[in-house]
């Protein structure tokens, strides 16, 4: 390294659009995409980016060559503090956090009425994680044209509206509901999550015609094709309109939520918390439980209360040493 290094070190800001094992793609404010590596000290002990740099991170980068303002290959030198973090439990037996994306404005859960059938368990887990991250969420109920074959869409949407989650009736095939959804995403950075097959790609392509091309450009930077995508990809079709797509999941395990604080991850439970007879009430049948009586009176959707009890059992079982 030469003395010129001192002058080259004027860091530029950019947004992380995609991360691979040891490299990432940055999106500059002017829309340019850059391939980047990270300084060793930013990497974990396994020399992988892991959770150190993730999609949505605001970073500073430097050109490899002194004075090379148009560098296509750059180095990330710093990561700005995050305003929020959406994680999940990584797959595998060892408990580990996988940060999916950060610095978000909302989480959009895409589900379908049928084919595959609506999964309340998955929906509630994702919504708990959003609540835990302090993020508003919305529910896109797609394939409304298949309503006769599946769950009653209005009943599902009503339950979630009561839980503070606005809903969208969508038929991505006919574009029904897509314009309203697009509107709800303008001016925000939205993370899209869904079970595989629910039509998330169709929804996203409906909102942003040509999205494939945008995602392709982001993937090109790392030489990985769209169909090998295993991680989140951020695109910005217009200034102030950002979508983060994630691969379809079969299951979603929350991270950072234990049996003791699960009740706080159910948004609509909040007004009742602290009003049960017992201070350490777990809301599983104790006398004088405010949550159970709210569910009995319909102030909390009974299906959400049932899902809380199921998830609580699972988290409690996980928390036991094997
Ligand atoms: P993804 O895995 O969530 O990205 O799902 P895709 O967008 O690839 O869609 C999965 C399947 O659902 C495809 O065969 C789509 O044509 C179909 N699909 C998407 N949206 C709709 C819809 O609104 N109605 C119906 N009936 N099928 C849809
Ligand atoms: Zn209680």
Q: Which residue has its alpha carbon closest to ligand 1 atom 7? A: 199
Task: Look at residue 45 in the predicted model and tell me its pLDDT.
Answer: 60
Q: How many angstroms is it from 279 CA to the middle of ligand 2?
A: 8
In ligand 1, the atom with minimum distance to the C-alpha of 146 is 26
In ligand 1, the atom with minimum distance to the C-alpha of 196 is 2
Q: Give the chain's domains with CATH numbers.
A: 9-79 (2.40.50.140), 85-245 (3.40.50.300), 262-319 (1.10.40.50)
Residues 133-171: b if buried by 16+ CB within 10 A, e if exposed: bebbbbbbbbbbebbeebbebeebbebbeebebebbbbb
Question: Residue 116 is encoded by which pair of tokens?
Answer: 């595959």
Q: Which of the listed residues 146, 168, 202 should we mutate to test ligand 1's pocket, taking the one with most ligand atoms within 8 A of CB?
A: 202
In whole angstroms, give the CA distance from residue 30 to residue 17.
14
Task: Provide the β-strand partners of residue 25.
Answer: 18, 35
Task: Look at residue 154 in the predicted model and tell me its pLDDT.
Answer: 95
Counting ligands in written order, the one closest to the CA of 192 is: 1
In whole angstroms, give the CA distance from residue 57 to residue 265.
24
Question: Residue 180 is encoded by which pair of tokens?
Answer: 């309203």
Task: Look at residue 21 in the predicted model and tell me its pLDDT.
Answer: 75
Q: How many angstroms is it from 289 CA to the middle of ligand 2?
A: 4
Q: Are 22 and 37 in contact (CB under 8 A)?
A: yes
Counting ligands in written order, the one closest to the CA of 112 is: 1
- In the chain (322 residues long), the average pLDDT of successive 10-residue segments reads 49 92 90 89 67 95 74 86 96 89 98 95 97 98 92 94 97 98 98 97 95 83 57 93 95 95 97 97 98 97 97 88 57
Q: Which residue has its alpha carbon closest to ligand 1 atom 13? A: 199
- pTM for this one? 0.93
Task: Look at residue 6 in the predicted model and tell me its pLDDT.
Answer: 44
In whole angstroms, give the CA distance from residue 240 to residue 295.
40
Q: Which residue has its alpha carbon closest to ligand 1 atom 27? A: 143
- What lines the ligand 1 site, CB under 6 Å? 142-143, 145-146, 171-173, 194, 196-202, 248
Task: Look at residue 48 in the predicted model and tell me its pLDDT.
Answer: 61
Q: How many angstroms is it from 310 CA to the middle of ligand 2?
A: 15
| DSSP type of residue 195 | B
Task: Look at residue 66 in the predicted model and tell me its pLDDT.
Answer: 63
Q: Which of the listed residues 170, 178, 199, 248 should we mutate to test ligand 1's pocket, taking the one with most ligand atoms within 8 A of CB?
A: 199
Task: Look at residue 46 in the predicted model and tell me its pLDDT.
Answer: 59
Phi, psi of 156 (to 5 degrees): -65, -50
Q: Are 243 and 192 in contact (CB under 8 A)?
A: yes
Q: How many angstroms is it from 260 CA to the middle of ligand 1?
A: 38
Q: Which residue has its alpha carbon closest to ligand 1 atom 22? A: 143
Task: Look at residue 228 in the predicted model and tell me its pLDDT.
Answer: 44
């Amino acid at each position: 390294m030469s003395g010129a290094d001192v002058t080259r070190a004027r860091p530029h800001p950019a947004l992380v659009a995609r991360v691979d094992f040891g490299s990432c793609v940055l999106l500059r404010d002017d829309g340019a995409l850059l391939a980047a590596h990270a300084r060793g000290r930013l990497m974990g002990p396994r020399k992988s980016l892991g959770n150190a740099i993730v999609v949505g991170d605001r970073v500073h980068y430097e050109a490899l060559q002194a004075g090379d303002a148009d560098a296509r290959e750059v180095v990330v030198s710093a990561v700005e503090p995050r305003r929020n973090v959406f994680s999940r439990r990584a797959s595998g037996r060892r408990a580990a956090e996988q940060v999916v994306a950060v610095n978000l404005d909302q989480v959009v859960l895409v589900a379908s009425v049928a084919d595959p059938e609506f999964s309340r368990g998955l929906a509630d887990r994702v919504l708990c994680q959003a609540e835990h991250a302090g993020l508003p969420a919305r529910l896109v109920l797609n394939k409304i044209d298949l309503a006769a074959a599946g769950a009653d869409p209005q009943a599902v949407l009503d339950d979630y509206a009561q839980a503070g989650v606005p809903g969208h009736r969508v038929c991505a095939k006919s574009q029904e509901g897509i314009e309203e959804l697009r509107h709800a995403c303008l001016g925000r950075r939205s993370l899209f999550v869904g079970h595989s097959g629910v039509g998330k790609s169709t929804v996203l392509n409906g909102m942003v015609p040509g999205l494939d091309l945008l995602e392709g450009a982001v993937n090109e930077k790392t030489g990985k094709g769209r169909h090998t995508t295993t991680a989140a990809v951020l695109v910005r079709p217009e200034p102030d309109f950002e979508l983060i797509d994630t691969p379809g999941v079969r299951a979603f395990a929350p991270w950072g939520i234990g049996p003791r604080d699960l009740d706080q991850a159910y948004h609509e439970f909040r007004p009742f918390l602290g009003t049960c007879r017992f201070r350490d009430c777990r809301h599983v049948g104790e006398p004088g439980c405010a949550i159970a009586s709210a569910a009995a009176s319909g102030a909390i959707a009974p299906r959400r209360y049932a899902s809380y009890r199921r998830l609580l059992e699972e988290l409690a079982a996980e928390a036991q040493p094997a």
